[in-house]
Structure 1
Amino acid sequence: MPGLGLIPSGMGVIARLDGFNRRHPWSHNDHYGRWVLRNLRGVRSGRALDVGSGTGNLIDLLRRRFDVVVGVEPDLTTSAAVRARFFDDENVIIEARRIEDFAYEAKYDAITVVAALHHLPLEESMKRLSGLLEPGGRLVVVGCYRSTTATDALLSVLATVCNPVVGVVKHRRVASEPLKAMTVPTAEPGESMADVRRAAALCLPGSRIRRRLFWRYTLIYDATVAAASVGE
Structure 2
Amino acid sequence: MVTNVVRALRQGAWIAGFVAVGQLASMAAVSADPVQLRLQPQRPTAAVNPIDFGANRYILTDEAFAQAVSEYLQGRPDRAVVQFGEAVRLDPKDGPAFNNRANARTALGDSQGALADYDRAVELDPGYAFIYFNRGITKSGLGDRQGALADYDQALEIDPLNVFAYNNRGILRYKLGDRAGSLTDFDRALRLDPTYAFAYHNRGIVRSKLGDSRGAEADSQKAAELMGKSPRRRSA
TM-score by length of 1: 0.27
Q: Which structure's relative contact order is higher, taking Cα pairs within 8 Å and 6+ residues apart?
A: 1
Which structure is higher in strand share? 1
Indicate the structure with greater helix content: 2
Instruction: Answer with 1 or 2: which has the greater Rg.
Output: 2
TM-score, normalised to structure 2, is 0.27
